[in-house]
Structure 1
């Protein structure tokens, strides 16, 4: 397999769960703790793929071979870690739709799979990359995809732990902005290899905050909120603009939009009141004809009129920029009608510029409206929704 082979990150499918177990076993067996016996507790954790998928998310990095059943044949080096790596490799030879190159799970605080998370935090667990696929950025891409998944939940932070001897993982998480913290029962002194055992691997605990504001929660819309978001969005646009029937129908079409794309809401953290909304595409797709490869587009940014002045539109726009960064995209683009001057001021304040070469006119009834286009480059440094 060449180093340039592309991969896609998506949710694991049920028929891939055995391969996820095998890949996780292999990643552990070829890591810094691979010489240790596997405890019953870890065996149960690794095997519970269906439970992790039901309560949270199990993501996989899949090689771009969507049309072929591939039989995996790994060349496991060394002494095969007492045969466990060989056993994991044999399990990975089962035919699957596209070769699995890596996997990661995200679980909630109330899950049996969680060790650190409290409250509404999300916990990243069991990040593993196939040995022959290491060095291609797959682990980083999986960690960023898990961070995006946590954003969809409205989680205030992602927490995780990694062994004190797992220096590769420590460098990855710290490069992504995770900070060490001391949790209840955390080890205070680093272990030595001689003292380690699978039952008492000492860990370093990490936390990555996802919220910049204590008063606001941004997450995906829930099914029972679809009508409320449609009403909120219509109020927002009717407040300042004269709407055609076609545009009105598009604004209130929240349910079909949520099925095909992502509809986000900003809610007051104290009361739960919905304050604003925006729509973005799912990973690997677009939401309008405007976007080109390497770009993320968004539509229908709306703030309920009583909530204006609270920075809701800015927070939702920054979310779109953060999603583009997490997906490794280069730019964010969007269209805006020439009459939407308030939105134009917001975009200018955030650093967007006009994309004049992609602007065009649309006709609504007897009116001709210029459809402006805006763009901003996506920063690829350590995450910061507020930066």
Structure 2
């Protein structure tokens, strides 16, 4: 598995992986949030889109084009100034839309992407990393807890009617 900034050819497959990973958490294909999940190009323009790709497979497995590694997972890194930041404060990094292809689950893709984000913000001098998650995303919560994140209930928020997000954070100074 290789971790890198998404190439232009990987933006479409990264959007597809994000939609597939979030399928159980949206209100169906007509949910307006699906378009936001699919729009990897916008996330890459306004933040940083990173992908985990299979280094042994090229071709057309997960919607990839010829010569493009199969996108196994993706994460949006939201540096200071990014409009994608929701709960980060001064000196903190934020991540959004950590997504692993359903066919790649159990292979360490989510852990690898989360480690990449933590390393990225440590290198930038951030003192913490924060994120938001739906209450029903139990598998994601286990991943965050194993990585040392703790709940930040004072930062829970509701970005849309009937959507409640839980905040998590990890101190990078320890």
TM-score (norm 1): 0.40
CA drift of 1:378 comes to 1.0
- The CA distance in 1 between the partners of 2:92 and 2:35, in whole Å, is 26
The 3-state SS of whatever aligns with 2:56 is: coil
2:98 alignment partner in structure 1 = 301
Listed as ranges, the matches of 1:30-109 within 5 Å are none
Pick the aligned partner of 1:371 from 165, 171, 174. Answer: 165
Are the equivalent residues in 2 in contact too, given 1:338–1:369 (CA < 8 A)? no
Pick the aligned partner of 1:335 from 128, 132, 136. Answer: 132
The 3-state SS of whatever aligns with 2:22 is: helix
Listed as ranges, the matches of 1:252-263 within 5 Å are 252-263=38-49
Bigger strand share: 2
CA drift of 1:311 comes to 0.8
- State the Cα deviation string for residues 267-298 of structure 1 (Å, max 9, x = none): 1111132100000124x434322111000001
- The CA distance in 1 between the partners of 2:10 and 2:159, in whole Å, is 31
- The CA distance in 2 between the partners of 1:281 and 1:370, in whole Å, is 20
CA drift of 1:304 comes to 0.3
- State the Cα deviation string for residues 164-223 of structure 1 (Å, max 9, x = none): xxxxxxxxxxxxxxxxxxxxxxxxxxxxxxxxxxxxxxxxxxxxxxxxxxxx11000011
Are the equivalent residues in 1 in contact too, given 2:87–2:130 (CA < 8 A)? yes
Listed as ranges, the matches of 1:111-130 within 5 Å are none
The 3-state SS of whatever aligns with 1:218 is: strand
The 3-state SS of whatever aligns with 1:293 is: coil
2:63 alignment partner in structure 1 = none
CA drift of 1:350 comes to 1.1
CA drift of 1:229 comes to 1.0
Listed as ranges, the matches of 1:1-387 within 5 Å are 216-238=1-23, 240-243=24-27, 245-271=31-57, 272-282=69-79, 284-286=80-82, 287-364=84-161, 368-379=162-173
TM-score (norm 2): 0.86
The 3-state SS of whatever aligns with 1:345 is: helix
- The CA distance in 1 between the partners of 2:130 and 2:106, in whole Å, is 24
Structure 1's unaligned 5+ residue stretches are 1-215, 381-387
- The CA distance in 2 between the partners of 1:260 and 1:242, in whole Å, is 23
Q: Radius of gyration: which is bigger?
A: 1
- The CA distance in 2 between the partners of 1:327 and 1:243, in whole Å, is 37
